Structure 1
């Protein structure tokens, strides 16, 4: 048997952390002295602690690790394989995001060295006033957290395309996302996924015509926030006001684009002239 101190030293986990793991049911001492409360761990628990540390190094949360540890032996390998694949995808997504951040940072550093203001790129965003035609859209509306967007977009658009194919509906345009929440909430935002079609059936609605401030993004979706800012500034400067929820139309399919620079997205702010 190993004292909590010995176990802590071998596994490089503090005794405070071990006590917390015991508290949340992650790993319990094999024996607790009833007289003095001293905790002892068995040799076989060293491997379990190494396994916990390995999963932590893969950025699994303690809650996720606990679920994995509680799996029955006959299904643990399969479930672990699935969990590792999912976590690998998550890490790859974060790596890609870091790569984009580093690329943007390098550009900003280079511009500053040339005496170019860091926010000057906003001046290159073009805004136009356009008049849109009415559209009949097949839609799904969901509350989406900030973590849901990347995977959620593909899921809901796929369901809409499946309905279009199964019911032999007539496609009239590319996918679009309409943002209905009055403010941003990382826990959940009212988001509508839609595709224009010809037929009026259950699950469709009319998107009214009108004037919109429009801008086109050629490149990564990370630029969309800047475009939203520029559009909102334009609306105020030109004496307009928002009348409906803003929306995006995806001219190119991101899954078919060879790289971010190939993606084209139109952003619309429905407006009317202030009285």
Structure 2
């Protein structure tokens, strides 16, 4: 038998915590001295303590922990539950990291207000190009809605191109348009330029389209993750207004360089414009 102090030491918890677990029926002592009231535990009870702490650290309430343990979930089932919860927490952390990146981009944009822009905007013609294309729908044009759709679309398109034995011939492109549903949803078109002889009617699992030329596009090069592209998009807006242009649609994104680390991405934003 281990007294409560030794049991707490071996379990890396506090005595106060063990007393609380006893009070709520989560981890009862193996023996309580009827005279002194001292609690004693068996070393085998460390296994239950380990489960309690692991489940609590993964976000389960103590009531949920007790329900799980009292159902006598075996080690295999418990391991599966913990892995699932770990995956949920990892996804939440990734989402928080993306949210933080967007907040930092917004702060940088705010901090740069009133200063001279470092973005070089160029108006030019964007030629037509034949491309393999897939489409998807995002709930809105906000980054948290675009990201989960556009990434898998590009992965799927590249996989289908590889399966068809077709090589891309230039930087990939993303373009956007309203779905017309009136709910703010956006149609996303992802495309990879391909050689012209590919049969548009072939069974490739993707569309073969001619991306239309843009006669006038205000363009700017953005460096880094698209989560931080807010400043570049707003630089386009200021240029368009200050130089007598009017936007005629969403900006295309031409991915010039896409290494594994998004911090090294180089993307040209191409917003269609017209005079007036």
Sort the TM-score into its range (normalised by shorter chain). Answer: 0.5 to 0.7
The structure having more radius of gyration, on CA atoms, is 2
- Select the residue among 143, 167, 173 that pairs with 2:170: 173
Question: Can you give the 5+ residue segments of structure 1 that lack an aligned partner in the other structure?
Answer: 1-6, 12-39, 61-65, 109-116
- Counterparts of 2:235 and 2:105 in 1: how far apart (Å)? 22
Q: CA deviation at 1:128?
A: 0.8
Offset at residue 95 of structure 1 (A)? 4.6
Q: Which residue is 1:55 aligned to?
A: 58
**Aligned with 2:117 (options 116, 123, 127):** 123
Change in CA separation of 1:103 and 1:241 when aligned onto 2, cut-off 3 Å: closer
Q: 1:10 aligns with which of 3, 15, 20?
A: 20
- Partner of residue 210, structure 2: 206
Mark the runs of 5 or more structure 2 residues left unpaired by the alignment: 1-16, 29-47, 62-66, 202-206
TM-score by length of 1: 0.61
Query: How far is the alpha carbon of 1:238 from its aligned partner?
Result: 2.3
| 8 Å contact from structure 2 (residues 177, 250) kept in 1 | yes
Cα contact 1:125–1:227 (8 A) shared by 2: yes
The aligned runs of 1:1-275 (5 Å cut-off) are 10=20, 42-43=25-26, 53-56=56-59, 75-88=77-90, 90-91=92-93, 94-95=96-97, 98=100, 118-120=112-114, 123-145=117-139, 146-181=143-178, 189-198=186-195, 199-201=198-200, 203-209=207-213, 210-255=215-260, 257=261, 260=263, 262-274=264-276
Contact 2:150-2:188 at 8 Å conserved across structures: no
**In structure 2, what is the Cα distance between the partners aligned to 1:208 and 1:174?**
16
Alignment size in residue pairs: 218
Per the alignment, do residues 76 and 138 of structure 1 end up closer, same or farther by CA in structure 2, a change over 3 Å counting?
farther
Q: CA deviation at 1:44?
A: 5.7
Partner of 1:35: none
Q: Distance in 2 between matches of 1:122 and 1:56?
A: 47
Give the C-alpha shift of residue 214 in structure 1: 0.4
Distance 1:99 1:82 in 2: 26
Cα drift, residue 138 of structure 1: 1.9
| Secondary structure, counterpart of 2:117 in structure 1 | helix
Contact 1:134 1:206 in 2 (8 A): yes
Secondary structure class of the residue paired with 1:123: coil
Evaluate the alpha carbon distance shift between residue 100 and residue 191 of structure 1 in structure 2; reply closer, same or farther with a 3 A threshold. Answer: closer
Separation (CA, whole Å) in 1 of partners of 2:183 and 2:80: 32
TM (normalized to structure 2)?
0.61
Q: Does 243-252 or 90-99 show the bigger shift?
A: 90-99
